[in-house]
Amino acid sequence: MALFYNIKVVTTFLFASLFFGYGVIELQASHHVSNHLQDVATSQSLFSDDQPYRTAYHFQPLKNWMNDPCGPMIYKGIYHLFYQYNPIGNGSPDGPRVWGHSTSLDLINWTPQPLTLLPQLEANMNSSWTGSITILQDYKPAILFTGITPKNEQVQDLAFPKDLSDPYLREWILVPQNPVMSPTQENKINATSFRDPTTAWWLPDGNWRVVIGSKIERRGLALLFRSKDFINWVQVDHPLYSYELTGMWECPDFFPVNVNGIPIGVETSAIGPNVKHVLKLSLDDTKHDIYTIGTYDAFKDAYIPDVGFQNDSSLRYDYGKYYASKTFYDSSKMQRLLLSWVNESSSLADDIKKGWSGIHAVPRRVWLDISGKQLIQWPIPEIESLRINPVILPIQLIKGGSVIEIPGISAAQADVELSFGLRDLSNIEKFEASWTNPQLLCSQKGASVSGGLGPFGLLTLASVGLEEYTAVFFRIFKDYDNDKFVVLMCIDQSRSSLNPTTDKTTYGTFVNVNPIYEGLSLRILIDHSVIESFGGKGKNVITARVYPTLATNDKARLYAFNYGRGSVQITWLTAWSMKKANIA
């Protein structure tokens, strides 16, 4: 009960600051906007020198710690986003979890709703961890989530809206039968490794299925349960899938995608020859969200990945910072959308100082590439409604060793699309067969190491004197053994901040494109302390959190660069300043 009381007190405090804090930030910010950013300023860009790392169009609560997205859905035309929220401790993770809740009509502007899934029963007395929503056949949404009991056991709980006529579904009630799935001696599930139910899918045998993340020793498990009525759940005698030596599988996600590169989403219960299935796992060991593409045999209740599990070299949604992601089917636009937590790269002390931690990535549409071998991701088109003042760079050659400023945009709050063309391959370097780890290759050949073709790309969140910048770039090699080009995409964060305590890991990935025929496209969403970079029209994505000390707000700059020996051409580049979304 003590915990419940604390949360109530904290909640009251939180909502008081929601109302009073907003105005404070607005007043401070308006003094720090320079002239050329006037349009951004009038569109409510609340640049604040006190809080230079708060984002303008990425989802984040006003304060405190946030992690996993939970139960995203569209219901009666309103998008709902829930998230793991620690109502105490400023930016520290230490404390209980409840569900934060916001609603939206466009997935960009959000209205906060009251916290929910506060302790109601023994089955969630210590916390309400991650879960998903399923819309049942009578069009009633149901939350399945992991409750933490007073003994710190993980159990699965069920909750329904208290009042279905409330368009915002503000209150959720746990059913008295909770927990609806528990670790027992019989099922031999470890009570500390049993969490994060997926959205359930319904099969023609009249049963729902749901997957729960787990492990036995070092074997990761996607445990399968079935139920006719959504209340009584029985464990299926085999997991949907499991793999040795992968550790705990958190936040599993299992969903169908259309074959043949059709970019239309599919409802979660769809089966049949026109769909493949994706199994995504958040690996607790590495904090990577990896996925496999395969076939779901509904009769055997088994998932068979096409190329087997690949552990460290598995496909990833994102080769930077991106964890505990979750998709949902948006029936209003027939699309599958992907949401994710993007953790901080700053120290705990810095997080507590700024009073918050954790943002969510811009929602991405996901679909299966025509090759059937990987997913494609692209930011939802609604984000483009925030674009203003486009700056278009004419086609131009960038000679080796040059840096060009892209002027006239709010470089701390921008959306940039560009494409490179390769005209001169005479300098191309040989790709070595031993270079199997793209992240390692990117860190060995950072942004300042000159090569044949590359590094070329953008210097984002750069200070005027280039004391600080985060380089997003490509290097191109020729693999003579296989007669193909190899495209390496990197983010070098080593110069991202003069603050010595931030994590400055270099990220990297190989992009499967032919740069001669297809060109090399890049889209970068820059938002104060986050950079989301989409290479090869959404084939590979890298997200980074950076904390410049000089290149903040209107002091940030954007440059194109080429530190390679050979020239490259910018075939098109448009950079937009971005307005601030309403995420109060």
Q: Which residues bind to ligand DQQ, rule: CB under 6 A?
A: 67-68, 84, 97, 129-130, 146, 195-196, 250-251, 324
Residue with nearest beta carbon to ligand DQQ:
129
Q: Which of 39, 49, 50, 68 is catalytic?
A: 68
319: left (phi over 0), alpha (psi -120 to 50) or beta: alpha
Q: Which residues contact 12 (CB under 8 A, 6 or more apart)?
A: none
The CB density around residue 394, as the number of other CB atoms within 10 Å, is: 7
Min dist CB 341 to ligand DQQ, Å, is: 7
**Residue 68 is a catalytic residue:** yes
C-beta neighbour count of 561 within 10 angstroms: 21
Q: Output 63 or 523, the one with its CB closest to ligand DQQ.
A: 63
Which one, 67 or 102, has the nearer CB to ligand DQQ? 67
Contacts of 115 (CB under 8 A, 6+ apart): 7, 11, 14, 85, 87, 98, 99, 100, 101
Q: What CA–CA distance (Å, rounded) separates 443 from 493?
A: 10
Q: φ, ψ for residue 444 (rounded to 5)?
A: -70, -35
Nearer to ligand DQQ, 84 or 533 (CB): 84
Whose structure tokens read 């169009």?
Answer: 57
In sequence order, the β-bridge partners of residue 477 are: 429, 486
Residue 37 per-residue DSSP state: G
From first CA to last CA, the distance across the chain in angstroms is 30
Write the single-letter amino acid at 506.
Answer: T
Of 48 and 67, the one with the shorter C-beta distance to ligand DQQ is 67
In the numeric block, the tokens 């750069």 are attached to 462
In DSSP terms, which residues pair with 202 in a beta bridge? 208
CB of 28 to ligand DQQ, least distance (A): 32
Strand 234-235 with 219-227, pairing: antiparallel
Backbone angles phi, psi at 374, to 5 degrees: -155, 165
The rounded distance, in Å, linking the Cα atoms of 469 and 576 is: 19
Between 156 and 413, name the residue whose CB sits nearer to ligand DQQ: 156
Q: Answer yes or no: are the C-beta atoms of 381 and 583 closer than 8 Å.
A: no
Q: Which of 201, 141, 205, 151 has the alpha carbon at shortest distance from 173?
A: 141
Contact yes or no for 324/341 (Cβ under 8 A): yes
Of the pair 195, 354, the CB lying nearest ligand DQQ is at 195
Supply 453's token pair.
């073709």
Tokens representing 496? 């991202």
- Residue 67 or 460: the one with the smaller Cβ distance to ligand DQQ is 67
In angstroms, the CA 114 to CA 70 distance is: 15
Q: What is the largest CA-CA distance in the chain?
A: 72
448 in Cβ contact with 563 (< 8 Å)? yes
Listed residue (509, 118, 532) closest to 338, CA to CA: 532
DSSP conformation class of 181: B
CB of 11 to ligand DQQ, least distance (A): 18
Quick one: DSSP state of residue 381? G
Distances (CA, A) of 321 to 249, 289, 505: 17, 9, 10
Residue closer to ligand DQQ (CB basis): 225 or 431: 225
Q: Which is nearer to ligand DQQ, 146 or 521 (CB)?
A: 146
Q: Which residues are catalytic?
A: 68
